[in-house]
Amino acid sequence: MSSLARAFGGRIVTIFVGVDRVKFTIHENLISESSPFFKAAFRGEFGERNGVLELPDDDPDAFELFVGWLYGKAQSKSYTIADGPIDWDIEAMTFLNLYILSKKYFNEDLSNNAIDLAYEYFDYFSDLDRKDQLEYLRHVVDNTLPGDSMRSLLVFVISVDLFQEHSEEFKRDSLSKIKAAVETSPQCVAMLLPQILSFDWDYRNGMDRPHCKSKCFYHQHETTTPCDDDD
Ligand SMILES: [Zn+2]
């Protein structure tokens, strides 16, 4: 049987996501083979024999991206979320929640996809409100393990954005936000400081934006094929 026939064979399962219980119906083979979590949930000894699963802690918008990715991937192995219809005006938090979801369900390919989305998002929208950026970092820190790649990416992006612009007013504003965050997000500030100090700042003239590492620097490739160098 072809992998496509296999993915679309078998039963359809129902998953309710988030506190509002947004309903998704998905081919069981497709979702079970994407993650040991779903395999155990639908096929394991304690599995959801009736084919219904509740995921109250997940973000329905992120889950929708995940489901679209599963179906795209079933038809083309090289499919990425950016190949599909994607609304870049959506909250960056959705991409971060997609990443958190991918880590929770142990799908490395999806984690790398979510890294790419966040990388492109923050590259494009570099003048996001700084308060929100610290909020993003805090959310990721609360939901990932130390040493996590998305933490590193956000720490880089936020550190650069805090100081990249040249006006004195902007620098004063940035510093006051850091000072406020010492109270509200001490763990985030502790993560930002080593990054900020590692840059070769010229405080008189400001600086150009330091070059971000390649996307693949933030990927993991334990079970997935490493990217080409130019990715
Ligand atoms: Zn890579």
* In the chain, domain spans: 128-223
Banded pLDDT at 121 (limits 50, 70, 90): confident
Report CA(220)–ligand 1 centroid distance (Å). 7
Residue 15 host element (H or E): strand 12-17
With a cut of 90, say whether residue 127 has pLDDT above it. no
Residue 110 Cα to ligand 1 midpoint, Å, equals 12
Give the tokens for residue 90: 């959506």
Distance 153 CA to ligand 1 centre (A): 14
How far is Cα 63 from Cα 88, in angstroms, rounded to an integer?
Answer: 16
pLDDT over threshold 70, residue 20: yes
pLDDT bucket at 105, cuts 50 / 70 / 90:
very high
For residue 223, report the distance from its CA to the centre of ligand 1, in Å.
11
Among 75, 121, 74, 79, which Cα is nearest to 97's?
121
Give the residue from 37, 35, 78, 103 showing the smallest Cα distance to 225: 78
| Greater model confidence, 154 or 134 | 154
Torsion of CA 159, 164, 169, 175, to 10 degrees: 20
Q: What is the pLDDT of residues 147-181, one digit of tens each?
A: 999 999 999 988 887 766 656 776 777 777 778 87
Instruction: Please determine, for residue 207, whether its predicted confidence score (pLDDT) is greater than 70.
Output: no
Q: Does the structure show a pLDDT above 60 at 204?
A: no
